[in-house]
Amino acid sequence: MVCTGPGNFNGIRASISAMKGVCCSLPIQLIGVNKFQALSKIYKSALISLKHRDNKIYWCILKDEEPIFMSFSEIEDIKTSDGYSDLVVVGYRAEEIAKSIKVKKFIEQNEISILDFLNFSKKIIRPEKFLPKPLYVSQGQSLFAKYKGPKILDKSLDVS
């Protein structure tokens, strides 16, 4: 299994190439799992948010385990849609996102572990569906502008 992204462009390409080389010498099939899939775990319907550089967020909706990339206005429409009544927000700043789209269930998780990838890979029935191809997410698919922390943290601490 190899992570297909999103992430550093060259790092993802290098890891996929290295794992393809390993699989050529062993009688195993390589599958590619992206971070959105790994975080979705057991949820059939989930909005997955991942931290990107500069505190921006990449997001994806998994509906019946199929990824759907939507614009921000489409995500805001979710709060009025019956088709997303079982939606769970999972990932970076999940509570904030859940409140903004009026979803009650959320799981705050800032990082993805190898255990998340392994748990997801256990439930793969058709490995031919998970090709090791890089997942490219455009800059336009970030949900919020740069996060600004509490003002109190902007002041230097006086420890004298």
Strand partners, 2: 32
Q: Where in the chain are the domains?
A: 2-136
pLDDT in tens, 5-58: 888 888 899 999 999 999 999 988 899 988 888 887 767 788 888 887 777 778
Side-chain-side CA neighbours of residue 126 (13 Å): 2
Q: Which residue has the higher pLDDT, 14 or 146?
A: 14
Residue 110 confidence class, pLDDT cut points 50, 70, 90: confident
- DSSP 8-state assignment for residue 142: B
3-state class (DSSP) for residue 39: helix
Question: What's the pLDDT score for residue 140?
Answer: 53
Q: Which amino acid is at 78?
A: I
Lowest-confidence range among 21-25, 61-65, 99-103? 61-65
pTM over 0.75: no
Mean pLDDT of the chain: 77
Contacts of 21 (CB under 8 A, 6+ apart): none
